[in-house]
């Protein structure tokens, strides 16, 4: 079971690259090369992140992408929701056949509790935190 798909994975890496160069425009090409992400794939991801107001872009020569938001406000949960949809354990695991009473289904509560845990764990992981961890590791 793989929790993060490539697009989320790549998006995080791209954001880390942008966060590391905050205030400057980085081209998709340079990010792709630096992080070893397929160029055209990365471009679609960057555009998606623009739509969600995580980054901004400048067109034309010397253009590129830039992070404007505080990296500590961007969580992995947000990125999962953008690229993989909301965290859900199972659509509706035990239907009428088992549950009978969907409105106060105990199992459903169990399931939703876990969804909550997963979500909040990933919420603790922000781009800012990852970047600091990374820099700390590189200093060693």
**Contact set with its own copies (CB under 8 A):** 1-4, 9, 12-13, 16, 34-36, 80, 84-91, 93-95, 97-101, 104-107, 110, 114-115, 117-118, 121-122, 125, 129-130, 133-134, 136-138, 140
Phi, psi for 11 (deg, rounded to 5): -60, -45
Separation between Cα atoms, residue 38 and residue 123, nearest integer Å: 27
Distance of CA 39 to the CA centre of its chain: 18
Q: What part of residues 106-135 is at the interface with ligand FES (CB under 6 A)?
A: 107-108
7 contacts 80 by C-beta, under 8 angstroms: no
Task: Please identify, using beta-carbon distances, which residue of 93 and 117 lies nearer to ligand FES.
Answer: 93
For 8, other C-beta atoms within 10 Å of its C-beta total: 19
Piece in contact with ligand FES (CB under 6 A), picked from 38-46, 64-72, 91-99, 118-126: 91-99
């Amino acid at each position: 079971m793989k929790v993060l798909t490539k697009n989320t994975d790549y998006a995080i890496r791209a954001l880390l690259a942008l966060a590391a160069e905050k205030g400057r425009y980085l081209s998709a090409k340079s990010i792709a090369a630096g992080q070893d992400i397929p160029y055209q794939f990365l471009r679609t991801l960057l555009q998606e992140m623009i739509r969600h107001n995580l980054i901004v872009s400048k067109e034309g020569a010397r253009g590129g992408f830039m992070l404007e938001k505080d990296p500590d406000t961007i969580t992995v949960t947000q990125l999962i929701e953008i690229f993989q949809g909301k965290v859900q354990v199972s659509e509706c695991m035990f239907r009428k056949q088992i549950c009978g009473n969907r409105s106060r289904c105990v199992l459903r509560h169990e399931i939703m509790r876990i969804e909550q845990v997963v979500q909040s764990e990933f919420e603790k992981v922000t781009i800012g935190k990852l970047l600091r961890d990374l820099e700390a590791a590189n200093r060693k």
